């Protein structure tokens, strides 16, 4: 098992058979690409969810949606969690409640959220890294 300086499991390393947890800040990832998402936030969140079904690796993927993106359903391979209020607060709750004892990575570019989840032992990744993994660009 790989661990960081705190002794916690490093993101991406196996821990006692539990799949790593990948929590995606839906609003932040969708908002990172200026493709007209603001005209149909729910549709943009559904498209992201569908692209996440091909996420590489044995991770448990959770997409957190909020606001106008509420109502997006889960699909096999991607659990969608609707935040009743702040998406950031819901992400922190998920990391705290479900991330213990296994690698956990939060996908967001939000600096404040990154600080909050790393304080709980989660790793962080940016939207660009995720988007490149789930739909590689033609080179």
Residue 78: φ, ψ to 5°: -140, 115
Rounded to whole angstroms, the Cα distance separating 49 from 26 reads: 9
| Residue range 90-103, pLDDT digits in tens | 999 999 999 888 99
Q: Is the model's pLDDT at 4 over the cut of 70?
A: no
Per-residue pLDDT at 56: 64
Per-residue pLDDT at 29: 93
Q: List the domain boundaries for the chain.
A: 21-68+77-134
**CATH number belonging to the domain at 21-68+77-134, selected among 3.40.50, 1.10.3470, 1.20.120, 2.60.40:** 3.40.50
Judging by DSSP bridges, how do beta strands 60-65 and 104-107 pair with one another? unpaired
What is the residue-averaged pLDDT of the chain?
84
């Amino acid at each position: 098992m790989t661990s960081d300086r705190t002794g916690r499991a490093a993101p991406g390393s196996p821990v006692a058979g539990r799949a790593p947890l990948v929590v995606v800040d839906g609003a932040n990832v969708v908002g990172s690409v200026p493709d007209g998402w603001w005209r149909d936030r729910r549709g943009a969140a559904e498209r992201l969810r569908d692209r996440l079904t091909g996420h590489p690796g044995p991770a448990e993927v959770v997409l957190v949606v909020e606001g106008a993106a509420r109502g997006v359903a889960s699909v096999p391979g991607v659990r969608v969690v609707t935040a009743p209020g702040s998406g950031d607060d819901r992400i922190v709750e998920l990391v705290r409640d479900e991330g213990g004892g296994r690698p956990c990575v939060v996908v967001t570019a939000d600096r404040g959220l990154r600080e909050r989840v790393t304080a709980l032992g989660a790793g962080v990744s940016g939207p660009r890294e995720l988007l490149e993994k789930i739909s590689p660009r033609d080179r």
